[in-house]
Amino acid sequence: MALDFDFSSPVEAITLPLFAAHQVKVFVKRDDLIHPFISGNKWRKLKPILNLAEAENKKTLVTFGGAWSNHLLATACAGAKFGFQTHGFVRGESVQNPVLSLCRLYGMELHFVDRSAYRDKQRLFDAHFSLDDAVYIHEGGYGKLAASGCAEIIEELPQVYDHIFVASGTGTTAAGLASAVLAKQWPTQIHAVPVLKGGSFLKDDIRALAITPDDIVFHLEYHFGGYAKHNAELICFIRDFVRDTGMMIEPTYTGKAFYALTDLVKRGYFNAGTEILLIHTGGLTGFLGMYEQF
């Protein structure tokens, strides 16, 4: 099997004075260490899709994303590693940047489409490919199959935690975590930190994955203005966190999730003795587009 490769990751404790003062224990599932480019939930979502493609003898992967999409890069790299041809439909005008250069380097053929045409992704796929020989992968890897890959995170944990936090763009990772926790009948509460403004729409997207969104706590106030938006407070937080822990996080996803958790600890959200796990979803190439601010 082409995908017979160990992509597991460790769990590490974070010891900061704030957490000690509030008597909570915080751990991180270091999925950012899975691979430099096929990292975090990008790999978790892709793994079952690639396994199915392999089983069905399909050798072409087709997916979608913005010009700085970590998902596009992960798909390109996974295609190169496991022997698939890859195509990426990129939202917006033709541009060049480090992420897209890496996609091309890994052999992905990029198709730039205007924002109006991009809205009908199925039509774009149908105009160029056939499901007989190509795999349609939703933007961001969203889908039931992808959620099943994210559920595998729970199987790797060394213990049961009171709370598990994750940044959410499509809701797929949170849905997979919630389904696995429910299946095990753990008392763990799953928390999603939407990185988009108005992130309550993720509840409908999660419901479409056959997961009850009521099983997930959504923290909607940590989007910092919307997707890929940030302010000086978030940037300052990331600088301090990386300096104090040696663990890299970025402003689009992980920075917002870690900020949310830290803010909730400050506000006394958790009882003394609580054990919390945060899933590091990788995507650190997001720094490439905003390095000057650091």
* pLDDT mean over 180-207: 95
- For the chain, percent helix, then strand, then coil, each to nearest 5? 45, 15, 40
Cα gap 114→150, rounded to integer Å: 31
- Please answer whether residues 188 and 181 qualify as being in contact, where contact means their C-beta atoms are separated by less than 8 angstroms: yes
Which pLDDT value is given to residue 1?
A: 43
What 3 state SS string does 181-245 have?
HHHHCCCCEEEEEECCCCHHHHHHHHHCCCCCHHHEEECCCCCCCCCCCCCHHHHHHHHHHHHHH
| Summary mean pLDDT of the chain | 94
Which pLDDT value is given to residue 210?
A: 86
Q: Which tens digits make up the pLDDT trace of 125-153? A: 999 999 999 999 999 999 999 999 999 99
CATH class of 11-36+144-293: alpha beta
Cα gap 184→177, rounded to integer Å: 11
Go through the chain and tell me how many residues it has. Answer: 294
Give the residue from 284, 222, 215 showing the smallest Cα distance to 250.
284
pLDDT at residue 166 greater than cutoff 50? yes
- Please answer whether residues 135 and 61 qualify as being in contact, where contact means their C-beta atoms are separated by less than 8 angstroms: yes
231, with CB counted inside 10 A (0-12, 13-18, 19+), is: exposed
Give the residue from 156, 164, 180 showing the smallest Cα distance to 27.
164
CATH class of 40-141: alpha beta
* pLDDT mean over 245-270: 97
Q: Which tens digits make up the pLDDT trace of 21-58? A: 999 999 999 999 999 999 899 999 999 999 999 999 99
- Please answer whether residues 39 and 284 qualify as being in contact, where contact means their C-beta atoms are separated by less than 8 angstroms: yes
* Residue 197 CA, distance from chain mean position: 17
Burial 63-90 (b: 16+ CB within 10 A, else e): bbbbbbbbbbbbbbbbbbbbebbbbbbb
* pLDDT mean over 58-87: 96
Q: Where in the chain is the domain with CATH 3.40.50.1100?
A: 11-36+144-293, 40-141
* pLDDT confidence bin for 7, thresholds 50/70/90: confident
- This prediction has a pTM of 0.94
Cα gap 137→239, rounded to integer Å: 34
* pLDDT mean over 11-16: 97
* pLDDT confidence bin for 285, thresholds 50/70/90: confident
> Regarding predicted confidence, which is higher, 8 or 190?
190
> Regarding predicted confidence, which is higher, 199 or 4?
199
pLDDT at residue 175 greater than cutoff 80? yes
55, with CB counted inside 10 A (0-12, 13-18, 19+), is: exposed
Q: Which tens digits make up the pLDDT trace of 91-130? A: 999 999 999 999 999 999 999 999 999 999 999 999 999 9
Look up tokens 């945060």; give the residue.
278
Cα gap 202→107, rounded to integer Å: 32
- Please answer whether residues 139 and 64 qualify as being in contact, where contact means their C-beta atoms are separated by less than 8 angstroms: yes
